[in-house]
Amino acid sequence: MERVTEYFAQLLDITRNNSWVRNEELTFREIDEKEGYIRGTLALHGGYTLHIAEYVHIIQGHPECIKYLHLLLCEFSGAFFTERSFHIGIPGST
């Protein structure tokens, strides 16, 4: 994988072929051929909504999510359950 657009196309393919995903609304902004932003939502079966924001950089042919936020919302009996994941990585770190 040499371009960030390849990562975005792969992500779209995975989400569109996943039986748990009812609807996807993802957008992509390419900064240059090796970095870009992905953001949007995935509507999942069971009333879940996954909000996604990622800053992706291609390093030595592999995508690295330098910064990301995943927020899962679920409407359950009129109340909302949330689960958050936030990460700021340093290129080359694990």
Looking at residue 73, its pLDDT comes to 76
The residues with which 35 forms a beta bridge, in sequence order, are 32, 57
Chain-centre distance for alpha carbon 55: 9
Q: What does the buried/exposed string (b/e) look like for 21-50 if buried means 16 or more CB atoms within 10 Å of the residue's CB?
A: beebebebeeeeebbbbbeeebebeeebbb
Q: With a cut of 70, list the residues of the chain below it in pLDDT.
A: 75-94
- Residues 90, 52: Cα–Cα separation, whole Å: 19
Write down the pTM of the prediction.
Answer: 0.72
Looking at residue 23, its pLDDT comes to 93
Angle among Cα 67, 87, 16 to the nearest 5 degrees reads: 65
Side chain identity at residue 30, one-letter code: E
